[in-house]
Amino acid sequence: MRSLRAAVVGAGLIGSRRAAEAAAHPSSSLTVVSDAVPAVAEALAARFGARRAAHWEEAVCAPDVDVVVVATPNKFLAEIATGALEAGKHVLIEKPMGRDLDEARALARVAERSGRLLKIGFNHRYHPAIRRAREELVHGAVGRLINLRIRYGHGGRPGYEKEWRGDPELAGGGELTDQGVHALDLIHWFAGRATRVAAMTQTAVWPIAPLEDNGFALLEFADGAVASIHTSWTQWKNLFSFEVFGDSGALVVEGLGGSYGAESLALHTRARSGGAPAIHIETFEEPDTSWKLEWDEFVGAILRGDSYSGGPADGLAVMAMLRALYESARTKTFVSLERV
């Protein structure tokens, strides 16, 4: 089978992770790395026998590149992804799909015109407990979906306000835009598109106003289901908790591995006669394989035409919900998704 040649633009935490997957996959290799800081690009390129490109445009136009991973601060994501698509490359763009819905919509149009594949880095879809939970939901293990609850957060670190995530121009939004988009993506993946939303934001600790360090959201769906989200940069002990309630039971995902704790899925089966549910818990001990599985799916989509998830439509759905949430927080009203 043909092998894909990958470029990574943005060689920070996530770019390094993506580079390692591209280099390790049997059907891809890493050929080019670019970063605004040359030494950072140099170091990552050297780890995998790739070369450094002086500028992102050189990386995305390189003839020995088939697919580009964009993992820069949010401000540059859509611009670089656009350049890569226009240069005829497939693109894996980190979440969020740009800084706002307008950037995401423009990018989706470019992807459509280009005939190349665009995937948004919603790696949480590939966590084993989350995948299993969705299969259980689809197969009716908890009956009719009635509501969902996600809590997701970490506690930042000293000087967080000086990092790019604390800069409105570079980040586009605060914690709802950062970890919140993963929560929105999972809710969209499990429950479909929300019809109306309400939100509140807080800038409680980090001096990052107008950005929020906490986001609270309620989302309503056409079938009456309701979802709630609390994302936080003041969650002093890292937390990921995703609960899915049906009329005959619940699915409870906890942890993402590492600092978020061991990943587990509990299936609660309602006791019809009352009392405690039957609980079956599965723990996933292996290191985080989501990045590997996500890359593998994208490679299969490019090389074999396999289907893949997290495409432009999923990214746009998330960015539409995000816009509605910020509008709700600003206007202190419910916002209909039809209006955004």
CB of 82 to ligand NAD, least distance (A): 13
Q: Number of helices and strands (H, E) in the chain?
A: 11, 15
Radius of gyration in angstroms for the set of CA atoms belonging to the chain, rounded to a whole number: 20
Distance CA 40, CA 159 (A): 21
Distance CA 312, CA 288 (A): 25
CB of 73 to ligand NAD, least distance (A): 5
Distance CA 31, CA 66 (A): 10
3-state secondary structure 19-31: HHHHHHCCCEEEE
List contacts with ligand NAD (CB under 6 A). Answer: 9-15, 34-37, 40, 56, 71-74, 76-77, 94-95, 121, 123, 164
Q: Which is nearer to ligand NAD, 77 or 335 (CB)?
A: 77
CB of 98 to ligand NAD, least distance (A): 10
Distance CA 196, CA 325 (A): 9
What's the token pair of residue 152? 């997701």
* Distance set, CA 47 to CA 20, 24, 42, 58, 92 (Å): 9, 12, 9, 20, 21
CB of 238 to ligand NAD, least distance (A): 13
Q: Which is nearer to ligand NAD, 20 or 225 (CB)?
A: 20
Concatenating the DSSP letter of every residue in 87-116 gives: TT-EEEEESSSSSSHHHHHHHHHHHHHHT-
CB of 246 to ligand NAD, least distance (A): 27
Q: Which of 338, 322, 325 is nearest to 102 (CA)?
A: 322
Task: Please report which helix (H) or strand (E) contains residue 237, including its range.
Answer: none
Q: What is the separation of C-alpha 25 from the centre of its chain, rounded to a whole number of angstroms?
A: 21
Beta-bridged to residue 221, according to DSSP, are 194
Q: Which is nearer to ligand NAD, 213 or 220 (CB)?
A: 213
CB of 80 to ligand NAD, least distance (A): 7
Q: Which is nearer to ligand NAD, 221 or 284 (CB)?
A: 284
Q: Which is nearer to ligand NAD, 164 or 334 (CB)?
A: 164
* Closest residue to ligand NAD in the complex (CB): 12
Q: Which is nearer to ligand NAD, 170 or 218 (CB)?
A: 170
CB of 146 to ligand NAD, least distance (A): 28
Q: Which is nearer to ligand NAD, 50 or 71 (CB)?
A: 71
